[in-house]
Chain A
Amino acid sequence: MKKYLLAFAATAMAFGAMLPAAAQAEGERFVLISHAPDSDSWWNTIKNAIKVAGEQMDVEVEYRNPPTGDLADMARIVQQATASNPDGIIVTIADFDVLSGPVSDAVAKGIPVITINSGTEEQSKKLGAMMHVGQPEYTAGKLAGERAKKESGATSFVCVNHYITNPASVERCQGFADGLGVELGDQMIDSGMDPSEVKSKVQAYLNAHPDTGAILTLGPNSAEPTLAALDEMGKSGQIYFGTFDLSTAIADAIKAGTINFAIDQQPYLQGYLPVVLLTNYARYGVMPSNSINSGPGFTTKDNIELVEKYAGQYR
């Protein structure tokens, strides 16, 4: 018994020693809270961005997310962050209803808040945040749809939605449908996150709808398995293919002509800018008065060279 207790205490001590002493560092402390589940690799770019910004500005930035992507858990994390009195909070508006309470409480407590990524400028204003750094999702989807219509004349499509529980993802599919000028109907599929599951669902859809004119994927998690599906079905380059976000595989596919465009919302800026802005606000009280659109920017064969080098890292 005593031995076990000792072991327990020793382990506890070891953990204590491993904990960052950074909690007492001189620099300001900010918390970035995202809605992404642990399985979403896209957020690595933002993690890299806050690391760079943190080092440059000599501040500490913590990254927090709900492990399963449960937005109610995310709201608890916002409350936690507020209770720990940081110098600023950077948060995504994954669901306005769920987050409005906790985020407005943080604002009311006098903590500067910048919203990023999901959500709109209007929602950000309603929460009392200082600004929003992101990409308007519906507009991005619509511009993608219009581009697809101009370049391919497609009248049907499939939207591979790997994160169906996030409203922004549905807005992208809806925007794409409106851009093409067709009804969304059941052209959006709930693919799930697992790559082999995504791949087989896309194959099943394309087998059942062989005349599909365009494909829209919402990020690497759905784009990469879809590429594999097309490859296996011998359809690579045969269907107009647009995607959101970038990764190494997506960049390669753009070069190969399999993917026609990728919408880059430049997540690096969504992580980097708020840290820099909040630090300057904390130190000198300066803050721009407008929100910042970090996207959409289209990456195509023409400008891929620029993007490719840093895909998955800073792009």
Chain B
Amino acid sequence: MRPVPAWRKALVRPETGSICGTILVFVFFAMIAGNSGMFSAEGFINWGTVSAQFAIIAVGACLLMIAGEFDLSIGSMIGFSGIIIALLTVQLGVPTWIAIIAAFALAVAIGGLNGYLVIRTGLPSFIVTLAFLFILRGLTIYIAIATTSKTIIGGVKEASEGDWLAALFGGHVLTGLFSWLADKGLIGQFVAGPRAGQPVVEGIPMLMVWALALIIVGHFILVRTKFGNWIFAAGGDAQAARYVGVPVNRVKILMFMLTAFCATVFATCQVMEFGSAAADRGLLKEFEAIISVVIGGALLTGGYGSVIGAALGALIFGVVQQGLFFAGVESSLFRVFLGVILLLAVILNTYIRRRITGER
């Protein structure tokens, strides 16, 4: 047997394509939007936040996809969990931390139900979760209208003032550092209104911290634990995995619960940041999660992929989406550009992988 050269080993990793893509995308935008404010502190926080949003849902979608399944109910789950939190806190006056825990419990239970139905019925997860896309969206609008006759429930910020768990989703970290940077004149300050003199960037939003934490934990579980191997095995060849004693059903159901968990993290951060929940939040987010994962080098058929890749996919997606704005692209053409760049990224990815692994 010929020894595999190190460069070849590196290239066969699923995230190789997305690393190249990330570099290309950054070079591209440094060229066309370098002095538009995109790389100022504010600009960084802007596309960083959007990328972090994609990353949060992409981590769940990635592990689920490696386990061989899809979840199309992610977007609806975002709207659903948000409305649950807002209803409990604003309408029923429940303390925010209880509302958040309740929303997580409910979402994870629904995720579990998704998985259970897929396993028990043997239907494709595409169909089962498509059903939940509609069930959850309809239910969300119904609950909101029935209880408040509105589809947007505001006032969460006031209701969750000083709540310890709310701060974990809606706050900022490193605020001291940013004040210091502003004092040194390294980042801008507000010039008018009650916040005059404060830095334009308050700190790193908790959304980014959550994204980073989920990426690190997800990556660790996938590549460093036995459970990670089970995930690969369940998505590679479920029957073969069962023969060697991998609890495939349990792994898959757990991964469905994980996507629901990630969707709820997304929803909670959003509700805490904006102080309101709306029944139409998260529209099409399931596709954005899947797109991030696919740019990140995962296979739609399961058994192959990486969390780091998905995270880079989310970064590429976020930078492209926001960067085109900074570049001043006409808004109707905006999605054409987005589509083309996504296509290029995936083609590049697939090309690298095929070339290296020799698969057809």
Given known pairs A80-B322, A108-B193, A165-B151, the reply for A72 and B347 (CB within 8 Å) is no
Instruction: Across the interface, name the chain A residue whose C-beta is closest to B151.
Output: A165
Say which residue of A62, A67, A101 sits within 8 Å of B328 (CB atoms).
A62
B347 touches A165 (CB 8 A): no
| A12, A22, A75, most chain B CB atoms within 10 A | A12
Residue-wise, chain B 339-355 has the 8 Å CB interface mask toward A (1 for contact) of: 01000100110011001
Interface residues of B in 162-195 (CB under 8 A from A): 188, 190-195
B331 touches A72 (CB 8 A): no
Residues of chain B within 8 A of A16, CB atoms compared: 28, 31-32
Residues of chain A within 8 A of B276, CB atoms compared: 95, 97-98
Does A208 interact with chain B (Cβ within 8 Å)? no
What is the distance, in angstroms, from A60's C-beta to the closest C-beta of chain B?
8
A68 touches B284 (CB 8 A): yes
Residues of chain A within 8 A of B193, CB atoms compared: 104, 107-108, 128
Does A170 interact with chain B (Cβ within 8 Å)? yes
Instruction: Across the interface, name the chain A residue whose C-beta is closest to B47.
Output: A80
B38 touches A170 (CB 8 A): no
Say which residue of A11, A38, A108, A190 sits within 8 Å of B344 (CB atoms).
A11
Residues of chain B within 8 A of A63, CB atoms compared: 331
Interface size class of A (residues with CB under 8 A): 35 or more
A70 touches B282 (CB 8 A): yes
B151 touches A164 (CB 8 A): yes
A109 touches B281 (CB 8 A): no
Does A181 interact with chain B (Cβ within 8 Å)? no
Residues of chain A within 8 A of B37, CB atoms compared: 83-85
B192 touches A96 (CB 8 A): no
Does B135 interact with chain A (Cβ within 8 Å)? no
Does A8 interact with chain B (Cβ within 8 Å)? yes
What is the distance, in angstroms, from A104's C-beta to the closest C-beta of chain B?
7
Distance of A191 Cα from B347 Cα, bound (Å): 39
Distance of A109 Cα from B327 Cα, bound (Å): 21
Distance of A184 Cα from B329 Cα, bound (Å): 43
B190 touches A109 (CB 8 A): yes
A97 touches B46 (CB 8 A): no
Does A71 interact with chain B (Cβ within 8 Å)? yes
Distance of A105 Cα from B32 Cα, bound (Å): 26
Residue-wise, chain B 8-32 has the 8 Å CB interface mask toward A (1 for contact) of: 0000000000000000100010011
Given known pairs A72-B270, A107-B192, the reply for A97 and B152 (CB within 8 Å) is yes
Instruction: Across the interface, name the chain A residue whose C-beta is closest to B347.
Output: A4
B352 touches A1 (CB 8 A): yes
Instruction: Across the interface, name the chain A residue whose C-beta is closest to B44.
Output: A83
Instruction: Across the interface, name the chain A residue whose C-beta is closest to B200.
Output: A109
A64 touches B347 (CB 8 A): no
Residues of chain B within 8 A of A153, CB atoms compared: none
Does B290 interact with chain A (Cβ within 8 Å)? no
What is the distance, in angstroms, from B358's C-beta to the closest C-beta of chain A?
14
Does B298 interact with chain A (Cβ within 8 Å)? no
Distance of A11 Cα from B24 Cα, bound (Å): 12
Residues of chain B within 8 A of A67, CB atoms compared: 335
Say which residue of A20, A68, A108, A167 sits within 8 Å of B152 (CB atoms).
A167
A-B contact pairs, 11 of them (CB 8 A): A5-B348, A20-B330, A23-B328, A38-B335, A64-B331, A69-B283, A72-B274, A84-B37, A95-B278, A105-B200, A167-B151
Binding site for B on A (CB under 8 A): 1, 4-5, 8-9, 11-12, 15-16, 19-20, 22-23, 38, 62-65, 67-72, 75-77, 79-85, 95-98, 100-101, 104-105, 107-110, 128, 164-167, 170, 184, 190
Instruction: List 8 additional contacts besides A12-B24, A98-B276, A165-B280; criterion CB under 8 Å.
Output: A72-B281, A83-B42, A84-B43, A85-B37, A97-B155, A104-B193, A108-B195, A165-B151
Binding site for A on B (CB under 8 A): 24, 28, 31-32, 36-38, 40, 42-43, 45-46, 49-50, 141, 145, 149-152, 154-157, 188, 190-196, 200, 270, 273-276, 278-284, 322, 325-332, 335, 337, 340, 344, 347-348, 351-352, 355
Which 6 pairs across A and B sit closest by C-beta, in order of nearness?
A97-B276, A97-B154, A108-B190, A83-B42, A165-B280, A108-B193
